[in-house]
Amino acid sequence: MGEEEERVSIFIDGNNLYHSLNRIKAGKIDYGKLINELVGKRKLINAFYYIAPLDITSNEERYWKHQKFLAELEKIPCFKIVLCTLRKYQNPDGTFGFEVKGDDVYLANDMIVGAYENLYDVAILISGDEDFIPVVNTLKKLDKKVENLYFTSSSSKNLRKTCTSYLNIRNILDKIKLDE
């Protein structure tokens, strides 16, 4: 199968991507440009973005900004937002924290189901989480390629080595930054 014919699905761990971009002070990115850069001349089947809606009671302004951001993402062709659960917990000092729950399971399930249903030839995983290694191994057994877009600061070397290929986001950051 030639490169032009390869079908690509992208799986974005939204929480991982958001915090990794903040950690390297990358600014905002254009998700349409990100997808185009990763897909190249191949055919995009879909792009999944796994995230939890923010807690409106915690910060109403931030909540509505996030809702607007998600609405903009939904305008991108073939883009699908998968909403997960946001769990609120209390820290020992009495402050509250939040944790996204279910995102890795939804992402792994969609990767495996898509492979078994032969919906794509190449899975692009945007996450550095080592927990995805068993999924990557399963996809490779199903003759799927798995590419990993990663951040040096939050990426498992073992995950990268398990994937068919990998790319540091810093190599494409200038091409995908949001024009503000």
Mean pLDDT, the chain, rounded, equals 86
Looking at per-residue confidence, does 28 or 78 come out higher?
A: 78
Locate all alpha helices (DSSP H) within the chain, ordered by sequence.
14-23, 31-39, 60-73, 103-116, 133-141, 157-162, 173-176
Angle, helices 133-141/103-116, rounded to nearest 10 degrees: 0
Residue range 92-117, pLDDT digits in tens:
888 777 777 767 889 999 999 999 99
What is the Cα–Cα distance from 49 to 173, expressed in whole angstroms?
19
| Residue 1 banded pLDDT, cuts 50, 70, 90 | very low
Tens of pLDDT, residues 27-41? 788 899 999 999 999
Q: How many residues does this entry show for the chain?
A: 180
